[in-house]
Structure 1
Amino acid sequence: MTDETDVLEELASLPTLAHPTASPDGERIALYYDITGRNQLHVLDVESGSLTRWSDGEVPRAVKESPHWSADGERVYFHKDDDGDEQHDLHSITADGETEAVVTLDGQTTLFDVGDDGDTLAIGSTAAGQQNLYVHRRSTGETERITDHERAAHSGVLPPACDRVAYASNERDDSGNQDTYFVGVDGTDQRRLDVGEPGAETVPVDWGPDGRRLLLSDTSTGLNRCGVYDTTHDEVRWLGDGDSQERPVAFTPDGDRVLAVRTRAAADASVVYDLETGERRELGVPEGVSPFVRFGNPVLDDRRVLVLHTTPTRRLELLCYDLETDEYETLIEAEYGDLDPDRFRDAEFFTVESDGVAETPARAIDLSPATELDIECLLYDSGERPSPLIVNPHGGPPVQEKRSFDLYTQFLLTRGYSVLQMNYRGSAGRGRAFREELYGDWGGAEQADVARTAEHVIETRDWIDEDRIGVYGGSYGGYSAYWQLVQYPDLYDAGIAFVGVSDLADMYENTMPHFKTGLMERYLGTPDENPERYDARSPVTHAENLDAPLLIVHGVNDRRVPVSQARIMRDRLTELGYQPGEDGDFEYHELGAEGHGSSDIDQKKRTFRLLGEFLDRRLGRPVAASGRGDKQ
């Protein structure tokens, strides 16, 4: 093998932990870990530090949903799908590897919460079409649907008495709205809480140990805030002074404190609220992205909590933090294999002003100036001179690039490509108004933000090779890659669309129902309401503008962004006379046994090879890395 192959294999093989969650007694932590070369369920003994593998191939190869402990701590529930298609059934596994199918329904099944009674499970399922709330009884094996919403019901949480479920859905005309509801576990007594403003998002997070208080997340004031709802008096106490973007995570077991995650300048910090005094303090962990465990139980006991920590140059680690002493210990350290961690590149954080119009000519649609905003950027310098640049818009769209370790970014850096990431308008982490800038304008000003930040870096960093600019993204980032190439073809010399959206009407027709209503309708309305918008903002409509080599990669089992999206773009390019193949105008790959991306080590290696080989062919290797500077 060449040295480059060695590095690729090492990077892709670095073991990764995912979705840690504490057991009810706080003595163990279940997590997914691929240290054996394949994703497996492991359990960590907190006291001894011993890590035991519970599964032997029973859990999926790729991590999608978090595991949950049973109330007695005797088993762990996990989601099992078919080669990444996300049409999960719910299974359980014990320490001796005994597995059991718990809930098997058509469509996608997601476990929201496990009741303290050991019998009640709150789940979401698309068995009847739209995702609605169901209750499963372990004692009888029966599963009953308890809500009937046209838009998705999600985030179900059970109080200690297990007599009702708090959850979020939307019955208002405003598709961006989310309200919190209560419903009895038998489907009766459903009511919407009078909390938050219409059009905002109010979502339940956790019940207090008294079963009377409910922890809420709410965006009514612009920035996300934490609230404690008193069910006895129908009153909410809002925490903090509204100066920070904060998401609630959990109550402590004594009910005296609330854990939350504060986001600022593309970084997360864990904060604790004392409910008696209202005081807020930030945990004393190293700078970087340091949130509480959010998609599992973060609490070991009244004083010890689980915190994740990462930076652009430090891989994810699991910490145990003592709230009384403000000290922490590392439970699972990052693994680096034979790689020197000093080879990883840090990110430069800065902002770029954008009014939603790029300097590069727009070839697909004309845009008028939008709200002028500061767009957060992360620039990774590969050290090559001159350096090609990969523009890397994130997926979502309501997610956020943060100052955390990213394997794909570091892979590109090791091959000499600098990487630019940005939080365009519509991204998470910047408040409600910033996110709502994208409503009704999918494929508009946010794509100009992407181009404008790339222009800024090219203009201000003389070490960037402006003749070797690529764009690469996955999911909504894949849509962005397609769109950048047809809207701003003068800017780019190559592009990669990974599980990307190319035809909005087909996406609406074939994606999962909760993505149809929660994503497509929220940002675009329906195709019947806005046929011209769906057509004009589809990259395939403007495929004739493609003027740079394009790599299309898509998993055949993808149910979020169906593989039809890739096939539609491929067929349109062929119809227009573009030639496929390594020496042609575009390259096309369908990935078997894979859905909407994959965390499986072998599948990551395959993806790395496709990306690296395409970029080397199409953008040319950096001089220092290959001894030549011309494109092939």
Structure 2
Amino acid sequence: MTENTGSAAQDMSMPSMPDWEKRFRAPRVSLPDWAEDAPDRALFVSNATGTYELYAWDRATGVQRQATDRPNGTTEGVLTPDGESIWWFSDTDGDEFGVWMRQPFAGGEDQPAAPGLQASYPAGLALGRDGTAVVGRSTDEDGSTVHVVRPGAGPVEIYRHRESAGVADLSHDGTLIAIEHTEHGDAMHSALRVLRLDGTAVADLDDTEGGTVELGLEVLGFAPVDGDTRLLVRHQRRGRWEPMVWDVASGQETELGIELPGDVSAEWYPDGSALLVSHSFEARSELWRYDFATRQLVEVPAPAGSVLGATARPDGSVEYLWSSAAEPPVVRSTSGRVVLDPPGMKAPASVPVEDAWVEGPGGRIHALVQRPATGEGPFPTVFEIHGGPTWHDSDAFAAGPAAWVDHGYAVVRVNYRGSTGYGREWTDALKHRVGLIELEDIAAVREWAVSSGLADPAKLVLAGGSWGGYLTLLGLGTQPEAWAVGLAAVPVADYVTAYHDEMEALKAMDRTLLGGTPEEVPERYEASSPLTYVDAVRAPVYISAGVNDPRCPIRQVENYVERLEARGAAYEVYRYDAGHGSLVVEERIKQVRLEIDFAARHLG
């Protein structure tokens, strides 16, 4: 078990603290969420105490209050529409299994928010104006369930299915519930259903029916007007994510005709007259306003880089969380001011990111490169592989890669097949040859990095967390001559055991990716499991794992470590008392320090 070794304030006063540690310790905040009917009441996440926790913010008075205080942190919380209460999810040491708690906005005792509901994995939450709550749950025993909880009454189950599903939104007048479900068995492509509060169906939208190519749908939100039955959704019908409006009462679907390359998302302006459009393309993002009356797009000014969240305020301004690889995150407003500036030390800047485009076996691969500020290549190089796999690296501030750059390494991040932001075909390319496809793309970028003079071929580090940790272990076994060191955080190490021990929603994802269970398609699990290739690993391996991790459980990591131990391989393993990563700043710094030290010792 790892303990917090000191307060953030004490650490920040140390004059000899290196820049890479300052980037982790500098206070930062999330984009504040605000109560729909009380926009001066907001909720945000901050690491100001050294642990990521929820904070209540009265914008009218400027008063901020820490709402949660737990050893392993808290990040999941929602305000009620009237701003009177905070709902926050209480699990045990990061295991993601727990119950919703409720706390007055101004402070006070925490109470169970939905008495009668047993602990579960969360699967969505929607709060109504009359106090009604719609709670999504997931357990290994029950599958996915949805419950309506009314004030003074016990929970009523209105939906149940073995496949994954979750609550997406509640209409403004509290009469309609939108859920995303995968009853068809494809966990990568959801269908939509709208229910009344008694569980009767109103409408279905399913793009997986009747076609050879399955397409996904996502709920973006009901129109913010009483009696308005328009639901904003995202679809993939043209090979990318883009929004449309679906009237769930009439069935009418209205395409918006937003012609922007890459993926497009949106949310309503508070009066329902326009949409705030978020556009992601080639690892950068930008904002636009779409006006329903004119059907025109007008760009919302934002610096070049990445917008990690945005919201339109009742006065028409837009607030957004922005950063770039070189510049730390800040919550800005189109009014020209910084919305929420945490006190204390500011995170030092890092180096900008460069784009690299490399021809690969499945098409052109986009990689992001950061070089040390001084010196010339070839450099020792860290291939920092993102998790997900349905995620992508972007031109956004990240303390981990910046730490490697400070220590003289180049950092390469690869948006391999399976990554989002490059079209549906790129994201959906992983079927059946899971892990091996991504590593083909990483290998192509590795060859480019060496041939271009960027990377020293004798000092290549393969690293990543979660799915990136899985690809690290798989790459060390399938490409043993390519890598000098491997650093795997919270990885899948033994795919079969991981499947049997992980949460039900991830089992559904594995069945989709690999075409069945380990018993149905054992050869695919064997081909995609790092444990299959452990005896071929030649590079020293560092593994870190949370003992409470429900996503990449500890038992399957121990199976892999035992095999390394049996053959006398060079390895180190670090176990810590948390789940799928840590919300404690000192713990994060400790892990990065251990990884940097391990690489330095073995690279020479």
TM-score calculated relative to the size of structure 1:
0.87
**Is it true that 1:73 corresponds to 2:73 in the alignment?**
no
Query: What percent of counterpart residues are identical?
Result: 25
Q: Residue in 1 aligned with 2:345?
A: 337
Alignment of 1:7-406 (within 5 A): 7-18=19-30, 20-24=32-36, 25-47=38-60, 50-55=62-67, 57-58=69-70, 61-65=72-76, 67-94=77-104, 95-103=106-114, 104-126=117-139, 128-140=141-153, 142-172=154-184, 174=186, 176-189=188-201, 191-193=203-205, 199-208=214-223, 209=225, 210-293=227-310, 298-301=311-314, 303-321=316-334, 327-333=335-341, 337=345, 340-341=348-349, 344-355=350-361, 371=362, 373-382=363-372, 383-386=374-377, 387-406=379-398
* Counterpart code for 2:465: G
Deviation at 1:278, TM superposition (A): 1.5
The answer to whether the Cα contact below 8 Å between 2:30 and 2:321 also exists between their aligned partners in 1 is no
Deviation at 1:338, TM superposition (A): 6.5
Q: Residue in 2 aligned with 1:365?
A: none
1:166-223 deviation digits (Å, cap 9, x = unpaired): 1111222555432110122222236523667651111222111243100001112211
Cα gap change, 1:516/1:257 in structure 2, threshold over 3 Å: closer, same or farther? Answer: same
Cα gap change, 1:76/1:426 in structure 2, threshold over 3 Å: closer, same or farther? Answer: same
Q: What is the total number of aligned residue pairs between the two structures?
A: 581
Cα gap change, 1:531/1:100 in structure 2, threshold over 3 Å: closer, same or farther? Answer: same
Counterpart of 2:451 (choices 452, 459, 464) is: 459
Distance 2:206 2:398 in 1: 41
* Counterpart code for 2:573: Y
Cα gap change, 1:525/1:334 in structure 2, threshold over 3 Å: closer, same or farther? Answer: farther
* Counterpart code for 1:332: L
Counterpart of 2:597 (choices 608, 613, 631) is: 613
Alignment of 1:422-571 (within 5 A): 422-461=414-453, 463-571=454-562
The answer to whether the Cα contact below 8 Å between 2:136 and 2:147 also exists between their aligned partners in 1 is yes
Deviation at 1:78, TM superposition (A): 1.0
Cα gap change, 1:114/1:247 in structure 2, threshold over 3 Å: closer, same or farther? Answer: farther
2:178 counterpart SS class? strand
Cα gap change, 1:523/1:216 in structure 2, threshold over 3 Å: closer, same or farther? Answer: farther
Distance 1:587 1:207 in 2: 50
Deviation at 1:502, TM superposition (A): 1.4
Deviation at 1:124, TM superposition (A): 3.2
1:129-188 deviation digits (Å, cap 9, x = unpaired): 323322222332x22222122211124211123223111112225554321101222222
* Counterpart code for 2:113: V
1:312 counterpart SS class? coil
Cα gap change, 1:64/1:561 in structure 2, threshold over 3 Å: closer, same or farther? Answer: farther
**Is it true that 1:578 corresponds to 2:568 in the alignment?**
yes
Deviation at 1:291, TM superposition (A): 4.5
Distance 1:604 1:319 in 2: 27
Cα gap change, 1:124/1:42 in structure 2, threshold over 3 Å: closer, same or farther? Answer: same
More moved, 493-502 vs 107-116: 107-116
| RMSD (Å), alpha carbons | 2.3
Distance 1:195 1:448 in 2: 30
* Counterpart code for 1:201: G
1:375 counterpart SS class? strand
2:163 counterpart SS class? coil
The answer to whether the Cα contact below 8 Å between 1:317 and 1:334 also exists between their aligned partners in 2 is no
TM-score calculated relative to the size of structure 2:
0.91
Distance 2:461 2:179 in 1: 42
* Counterpart code for 1:216: V
Deviation at 1:565, TM superposition (A): 2.4
Cα gap change, 1:110/1:176 in structure 2, threshold over 3 Å: closer, same or farther? Answer: closer
The answer to whether the Cα contact below 8 Å between 2:136 and 2:144 also exists between their aligned partners in 1 is no
The answer to whether the Cα contact below 8 Å between 1:375 and 1:423 also exists between their aligned partners in 2 is yes
Deviation at 1:64, TM superposition (A): 4.7
Deviation at 1:452, TM superposition (A): 1.2
Distance 2:90 2:457 in 1: 46
Distance 2:46 2:477 in 1: 40
Distance 1:336 1:269 in 2: 29
Cα gap change, 1:518/1:398 in structure 2, threshold over 3 Å: closer, same or farther? Answer: same
More moved, 71-80 vs 396-405: 71-80
2:67 counterpart SS class? coil
Cα gap change, 1:86/1:175 in structure 2, threshold over 3 Å: closer, same or farther? Answer: closer
Distance 1:469 1:304 in 2: 46
Cα gap change, 1:578/1:281 in structure 2, threshold over 3 Å: closer, same or farther? Answer: farther
Cα gap change, 1:276/1:253 in structure 2, threshold over 3 Å: closer, same or farther? Answer: same
Cα gap change, 1:111/1:175 in structure 2, threshold over 3 Å: closer, same or farther? Answer: closer
* Counterpart code for 1:90: W
1:475-502 deviation digits (Å, cap 9, x = unpaired): 0000110011111111110001100111
* Counterpart code for 2:222: W
Cα gap change, 1:339/1:397 in structure 2, threshold over 3 Å: closer, same or farther? Answer: closer
